[in-house]
Chain A
Amino acid sequence: MSGFSMTTGQIRFATLWRREVNRFMKIKKQTLGGPLLETFLYITVFGAALGSRIKQLHGIEYILFVIPGLIMMALATNAFTNNSSSILQQKFQGAIQDQLSSPASPAELLLALSLGGFVRGLMVATITFVVSVVLVGLPVDHVLVLIPALFLVGFFFSQLGVLIGVRAEQFDDVAFAQTFILQPLIFLGGVFYSASLLPQPWETLTRFNPIFYMISLVRYGFVGYSEISIPLALAALAFATAVLFAINLRLFSSGYKLRA
């Protein structure tokens, strides 16, 4: 590879990011194998078993209706869990001091820590997608919506994972956010059903759940069905992601809970 040499900044960022990816690759049974098994169990139970009864939702085969939601869920939870766990573990061990006392800027640190979970989420989502294409012929109807939607969902939950990881003081804090906030919002956001089929007030309440819009965007990208305004939802998601990134960058710049 003569002629190509990285700058010190590029080497630094690549190393910070490599550490994050290396961490989850070393325990891939837990970080990739587990989530994949979980996703395929959902597909089996809800798609195959329940699908034999429900057949179609809004003219779409039930299993194809469910899989986009599961892909979005896998992307979101893996991006979130990876980053919150990685940061909290490093805080506990004190190992994060090695990065904090390096010349890395707050933005470099934040991006590298974010991208670990982002890559893990994308890996699980991509494997689920490929298997779904092969086994049940999952279509991609609107690739120009799907790609930005998946990118934004992944980045949003990566940022959320970083935020919770930095704030957390014990593993219970991370588990609480995941089990009592994130998971219910995802489940109630319409992964397994269509909000329009819900009785009131549940249908209206669902529209206050931000994750409903994320699932809708991803579902629209795959199978072309939507109950919302796609441009508005994409813009809102982009805005929310930018706000979350700005909050995190501010926290990293101020050293919040990282530098005494």
Chain B
Amino acid sequence: MSVPALNIVDLVKTYPTGVEALRGVSLEIPNGELFGLLGPNGAGKSTLIHCTTGLAQPSSGTIEIFGHDAIGDYAEARQAVGLAPQEPNLDWFLTVEETLDYHAGYFGMPKRERRERTTELLETFSLAEKRDERTRTLSGGMKRRLILARAVMHRPRLLILDEPTAGVDVELRLELWHYVQKINEEGTTILLTTHYLEEAEQLCSRIAFITGGEIVAEGSSQSVAESFGASSLEDAYLALVGRKELSRSHIGVEEEVEV
């Protein structure tokens, strides 16, 4: 059996303020999977991602990325991960091209390869015309594209997308999902958090619900829904957050709702 892309065991994170963001999370994502981590704001999704990528330090528990311990063997572990964070964290001093070039440099990619990969991704994400612009001049949608391009720049085997489509227009959302699906089919494992439940349902082979720093359900979207006695993932989610009265079956609304 191949080594899982991500293997988290009993992960606990208590911030110095005393907030218990994660209370013993265990999660295994096999190589090649497109996995959705869903839950309300403040559930611990971003903390889990930050612990995995070295931006936060676990209080206890272990994280292994393709068999490499995220603390003890951090260089190998981080080399395998690409992160598109929820909040745009671009460097205002850098141009679009420099953003990609520097990122790849931090991951040790040689100059010629950096140049080729940058050109390829600028084309893929329709950023070629903006390559010499400073990042602070970009529109919100452009920043999102650049953040995703940066995350995949060093060809990570595990791509972590923390709400990558929050606040973007419909066509960009679909564009991003097409890209994500494509690289998943090519072999990249993907951990995704999103508030768009129907998208998670369509894209992800498995999902987990996290709330209050604990994973409360895990499996296919159908099995997770059934475990809450619901017919859809959205109804299961509403049961999770104790707001069943908002179910569309009660009000007869059919279109997608962002939660």
Q: Is B120 an interface residue (CB 8 A)?
A: no
Interface string of A77-114 (1 = CB under 8 A from B): 00000000000011001110111111111000000000
Q: Is B119 an interface residue (CB 8 A)?
A: no
B89 touches A95 (CB 8 A): yes
**Complexed CA–CA distance, A6 and B93 (Å):** 26
B104–chain A nearest beta-carbon distance, Å: 8
B106 touches A97 (CB 8 A): no
Q: Which of A22, A89, A260 contacts B50 (CB 8 A)?
A: A260
Interface string of A1-36 (1 = CB under 8 A from B): 000011111011011101100110011000000000
Interface size class, chain A: 20 to 34
**A residues less than 8 Å from B79 (CB atoms):** 103
B75 touches A94 (CB 8 A): no
Q: Is A259 an interface residue (CB 8 A)?
A: yes
A90 touches B91 (CB 8 A): yes
Residues of B23-70 whose CB lies within 8 A of A = 47, 50, 53-57
Report the stretch among B107-115, B186-194, B213-221 that lies at the interface. Answer: B107-115
Interface string of B67-100 (1 = CB under 8 A from A): 0000000111011010101011111111000100
Q: Is B15 an interface residue (CB 8 A)?
A: yes
B15 touches A15 (CB 8 A): no
Q: Which residue of B lies closest to A106 (CB)?
A: B74
B103 touches A103 (CB 8 A): no
Q: Which of A6, A27, A93, A259 contacts B55 (CB 8 A)?
A: A259
The interface centre, meaning the residue of B79, B90, B93, B111 with most chain A CB atoms within 10 A of its CB, is B93
A11 touches B108 (CB 8 A): yes
Q: List 22 A-B contacts (CB under 8 A).
A: A5-B110, A11-B105, A12-B106, A16-B105, A22-B98, A23-B93, A90-B91, A93-B89, A93-B90, A94-B87, A95-B90, A98-B106, A98-B150, A100-B55, A101-B53, A101-B83, A102-B103, A103-B74, A260-B15, A260-B47, A260-B56, A260-B57
